Amino acid sequence: MEHARPLPDYLVRRYHGWKATGYEKNKGWYLQLAEDGQHPRAMVVSCCDSRVHVTSIFGADQGEFFIHRNIANLIPPAETGGNHHGTSAAVEYAITALKVSHLIVLGHSSCGGVKGCYDMCSGNAPELESKDSYVGRWMDILRPGFEKLGEGDDESRVRQLERECVVISLENLMTFPHVKSAVEAGRLSLHGLWHDIGAGDLEAYDPASGAFRPV
């Protein structure tokens, strides 16, 4: 693969800094993680957005969370047919192999993926309607959420859609037989969260009211 290049200098420097300090101080912990394997209690599905740091929010160490990130923290509905399903594979592994007790879907404010879906469904992003748009076809998962939005200005409706995105992902999770059986047997609990990046706030989905409440 002739296109691969050496790592940029700033990353080489940062790596050596971590190896000499962060790693060296916690060497025993890393060796134990390597020997014992991973036993995370929770899986987190969050957005690729660089501002979303679930390990920071919960003060989590290595080995605590099995994390999958994709555009707009979406879970597609269960389907087979030979296509590549990275998110579905990660969910399957977490439930069947790691046997996590909690599966958390973490949405966030000013999500570019959700905004793109909102624009696409509003007729303002024709490029996302193309069958060649990976983002557009991925965000099709959220189209049913757009149909449910109430009245309001664009900004408030996009915020509604960010939360709807979390709910749809939770609903889609239950279409996977291994998730459904684990939930019904009490071995797995599903959780929906929405994080306000600027305010540092965290809201949790309350199934009784259908609303998100501050944590």
Determine contact, residues 87/75, Cβ cutoff 8 Å.
yes
Determine contact, residues 111/204, Cβ cutoff 8 Å.
no
List all residues 6 or more positions away from 103 whose beta carbon is below 8 Å from its beta carbon: 42, 43, 45, 91, 94, 95, 173, 179, 188, 189, 190, 191
Query: What's the CA angle centered on 95, arms 93 and 101, to 5 degrees?
Result: 135
The least CB distance from residue 117 to Zn ion, in Å, is 11
Q: Which stretch binds Zn ion (CB under 5 A): 14-22, 49-57, 90-98, 148-156?
A: 49-57
The least CB distance from residue 144 to Zn ion, in Å, is 18
The least CB distance from residue 93 to Zn ion, in Å, is 23
Q: Which stretch binds Zn ion (CB under 5 A): 22-30, 48-56, 142-150, 187-195?
A: 48-56
142 binds Zn ion, rule: CB under 5 A:
no
DSSP category for residue 209? T
Binding-site size for Zn ion (CB under 5 A) equals 4
162 binds Zn ion, rule: CB under 5 A:
no
Q: Which stretch binds Zn ion (CB under 5 A): 14-22, 24-32, 45-53, 148-156?
A: 45-53
- Nearest CB to Zn ion, comparing residues 160 and 182: 160
**Binders in 83-112 for Zn ion, by CB under 5 A:** 111
Nearest-angstrom CA–CA distance, 21 and 28: 13
List all residues 6 or more positions away from 85 whose beta carbon is below 8 Å from its beta carbon: 76, 79
47 binds Zn ion, rule: CB under 5 A:
yes
| Interface positions with Zn ion (CB under 5 A) | 47, 49, 111, 113
